[in-house]
Amino acid sequence: MVDVSSTVMDLPRRDARDKLRGRTRYTNDRARPDTLHAVLLRSTVPAGRITRLDVSAALECPGVHAIVTGADAPGLHGIGIADHPLFATDTIRYHGEPIACIAAETEAEAKAALAAIVLDVEPLNPVLTMAEALAPGAPLIHEDWRAYEVLTEGGARDGNIAWEAKSVRGDVDAAFARSDVTIVESSIAVGRQSHVPFEPRVAIGSWENGRAHIETSTQVPWTVRNVTGRVLQLPPGRVRVTVPPVGGGFGLKFDATIEPITALLARMTGRSVILENSRQEEMATCLCRENAEIRIRSAVTAEGEIVGREAVVLMDCGAYGGEQVFLTTMTSHTLGGSYRLGAVRLVSRAVYTNTPPNGAFRACNGVYNSFALERHTDEICAAIGMDPIEFRKRNVLGNGDLGPTGQVFEGDVLGPMLERMDTLRANTGTLEHAADGRLYGRATALGTWFIFVGPSAATINLNADGSATLVTSGVEIGSGTMMQSLPQIVAGQLGLHPDQIVVREADTDAAGLDAGIGGGRTTVSIGAASVGAAAEVREKLLRTAGEMLQTAPKDLVLRDGRVEISGRPGSGAAISTVVAHAQATTGPISGTGSFTAKNTPAMAGCAMGHFIDALDIPVFVVHEAEVAVDPDTGHVDVLAYRVVQDVGRALNPRAIMGQIQGGVVQGLGYALHEEVTITGDGRIAQDGFETYRVPLAQDVVPVVADLYEGAPSMGPLGTKGAGEVPILAVGSAIACAVSNAIGKPVYRLPLTPPRVLRLIHDIEPRPDYPHIAPNWTDNTLR
Partner 1 sequence: MTVTLRINGSACRFHGDPMTPLVDVLRRERFLTGTKAVCREGFCGACTVEVDGEAVMSCLRPIGLLDGATVKSIEALAPGDTALHPLQAAFEAADVVQCGMCFPGMVMSLAPFLRENPDAGRNEIKAAMVGNICRCTGYERIVDAVMNFLDSQKMEQANG
Partner 2 sequence: MFDSMERSLTVAGSIEEALAAKHRGAAVLAGGTWLMRDPRRGVNLPDVLVSLHALPALFTVEIEKDQVVIGASVTHAGLARQLAGLNGFDAVVAAANGAANPAIRRVATVGGNLCTFDFAAADLLPVFLAMNAVVELRSIGERQVLPIAEFLANRRVFLRDSILTSVILRRDVIASAHARLPLRRAGDYPVAIVSAVRGHDGRVRIAVGSVEDVARRWISLEAVLAIEPASVSADPERMRALAAQCVDFRGRDGIEADGWYRCQVLPTLVRRAIASLSAKESVQ
Residue 592: strand pairing partners: 459
Q: Is 695 in the site for partner 2 (CB under 8 A)?
A: yes
Binding mask 164-203 for partner 1 (x = CB under 8 A): -------------------------------xxxxx----
Q: Which residue type, as a one-letter code, is found at position 517?
A: I
CA 394 – CA 306 distance, rounded (Å): 10
When binding is defined by CB under 8 A, the residue of 51, 56, 106, 585 that contacts partner 2 is 106
Binding mask 154-193 for ligand FES (x = CB under 6 A): ----------------------------------------
According to CB under 6 A, which residues from 639 to 678 bind ligand FES? Answer: none
Q: Is 552 in the site for partner 2 (CB under 8 A)?
A: no
Choose between 308 and 478: whose C-beta lies nearer to ligand FES.
Answer: 478
Q: Which does 702 bind (CB under 5 to 8 A by kind): partner 1, ligand FES, partner 2, none?
A: partner 1
Judged by CB under 8 A, the stretch of 9-17, 316-324, 397-405, 760-768 that binds partner 1 is 9-17
Shortest Å distance, C-beta 242 to ligand FES: 21
> Collapsing DSSP states into helix, strand and coil, what is residue 165?
strand
> Is beta strand 468-472 parallel, antiparallel or unpaired with respect to 149-150?
unpaired
Shortest Å distance, C-beta 324 to partner 1: 23
Q: Which does 532 bind (CB under 5 to 8 A by kind): partner 2, ligand FES, partner 1, none?
A: none
Residue 49: strand pairing partners: 91, 122
When binding is defined by CB under 8 A, the residue of 38, 58, 112, 131 that contacts partner 2 is 112
- Name the phi and psi angles at 403, rounded to 5: -85, 180
Q: Which does 685 bind (CB under 5 to 8 A by kind): partner 2, partner 1, ligand FES, none?
A: partner 2
- Name the phi and psi angles at 252, rounded to 5: -60, -35
Cα four-point dihedral sign 26, 27, 32, 38:
negative
Q: Which does 754 bind (CB under 5 to 8 A by kind): partner 1, partner 2, ligand FES, none?
A: partner 2
Q: Is 198 in the site for ligand FES (CB under 6 A)?
A: yes
When binding is defined by CB under 8 A, the residue of 1, 22, 385, 765 that contacts partner 1 is 22
Choose between 26 and 183: whose C-beta lies nearer to partner 1.
Answer: 26
CA 68 – CA 205 distance, rounded (Å): 14
CA 375 – CA 745 distance, rounded (Å): 8
- Name the phi and psi angles at 548, rounded to 5: -65, -40
When binding is defined by CB under 6 A, the residue of 245, 478, 718, 750 that contacts ligand FES is 478
Sheet holding 48-54, edge to edge: 91-92, 48-54, 118-123
Choose between 126 and 251: whose C-beta lies nearer to partner 1.
Answer: 251
CA 202 – CA 218 distance, rounded (Å): 9
CA 256 – CA 220 distance, rounded (Å): 8
HEC sequence for 638-691: EEEEEEEEEEECCCCHHHHHHHHHHHHHHHHHHHHHCCCCECCCCCECCCCCCC
**H or E segment and range at residue 527:** helix 527-549
Total residues contacting partner 1 by CB under 8 A comes to 54
Q: Is 666 in the site for partner 1 (CB under 8 A)?
A: yes
Buried b (16+ CB within 10 A) or exposed e, 395-420: bbbeeebbbbbbbebebebbbbbbeb
> Is beta strand 118-123 parallel, antiparallel or unpaired with respect to 48-54?
antiparallel
Residue 207: strand pairing partners: 212
Choose between 659 and 686: whose C-beta lies nearer to partner 2.
Answer: 686
* Side-chain half-sphere exposure of 640, counting CA atoms within 13 A: 21
According to CB under 6 A, which residues from 228 to 257 bind ligand FES? Answer: 248
Choose between 198 and 585: whose C-beta lies nearer to ligand FES.
Answer: 198
Cα four-point dihedral sign 91, 94, 95, 100:
negative
Shortest Å distance, C-beta 630 to partner 2: 8
Binding mask 279-318 for partner 1 (x = CB under 8 A): x---------------------------------------
Shortest Å distance, C-beta 670 to partner 1: 13
Judged by CB under 8 A, the stretch of 43-51, 502-510, 677-685, 700-708 that binds partner 1 is 700-708
> Collapsing DSSP states into helix, strand and coil, what is residue 540?
helix
CA 204 – CA 226 distance, rounded (Å): 17
When binding is defined by CB under 8 A, the residue of 573, 664, 676, 751 that contacts partner 1 is 664
Shortest Å distance, C-beta 685 to partner 2: 5
When binding is defined by CB under 8 A, the residue of 63, 398, 546, 753 that contacts partner 2 is 753
Shortest Å distance, C-beta 197 to ligand FES: 8
Buried b (16+ CB within 10 A) or exposed e, 186-198: bbbbbbbbbbbbe
**H or E segment and range at residue 531:** helix 527-549
Q: Is 80 in the site for ligand FES (CB under 6 A)?
A: no
Cα angle 500, 505, 510; round to 5: 100
Q: How far is CA 744 from CA 184, 204, 297, 740, in A?
A: 16, 51, 19, 7
CA 450 – CA 333 distance, rounded (Å): 9
When binding is defined by CB under 8 A, the residue of 56, 280, 428, 586 that contacts partner 2 is 280
Rg (CA), the chain: 27
When binding is defined by CB under 8 A, the residue of 1, 3, 20, 153 that contacts partner 1 is 20
Judged by CB under 8 A, the stretch of 100-108, 142-150, 360-368, 456-464 that binds partner 2 is 100-108
**H or E segment and range at residue 543:** helix 527-549
State which residue has the least CB distance to ligand FES.
198
Shortest Å distance, C-beta 98 to partner 2: 19
Q: Which residue type, as a one-letter code, is found at position 306?
A: I
Q: Is 15 in the site for partner 2 (CB under 8 A)?
A: no
> Collapsing DSSP states into helix, strand and coil, what is residue 482?
coil
Q: Is 698 in the site for partner 1 (CB under 8 A)?
A: yes
Q: Which does 199 bind (CB under 5 to 8 A by kind): ligand FES, partner 2, partner 1, none?
A: partner 1
Choose between 182 and 677: whose C-beta lies nearer to partner 2.
Answer: 677
CA 77 – CA 80 distance, rounded (Å): 9
When binding is defined by CB under 8 A, the residue of 245, 337, 359, 731 that contacts partner 1 is 245
When binding is defined by CB under 8 A, the residue of 17, 111, 178, 568 that contacts partner 1 is 17
Q: Which does 757 bind (CB under 5 to 8 A by kind): partner 2, partner 1, ligand FES, none?
A: partner 2
Work out the end-to-end distance of the chain between its first and last CA atoms, rounded to an integer number of angstroms. Answer: 45
Residues in touch with partner 2 (CB under 8 A)? 106-108, 111-112, 280, 632-635, 673, 677, 685-686, 688, 690-691, 693, 695-696, 698-699, 752-754, 757, 761
Positions in the binding site for ligand FES (CB under 6 A): 198, 248, 478
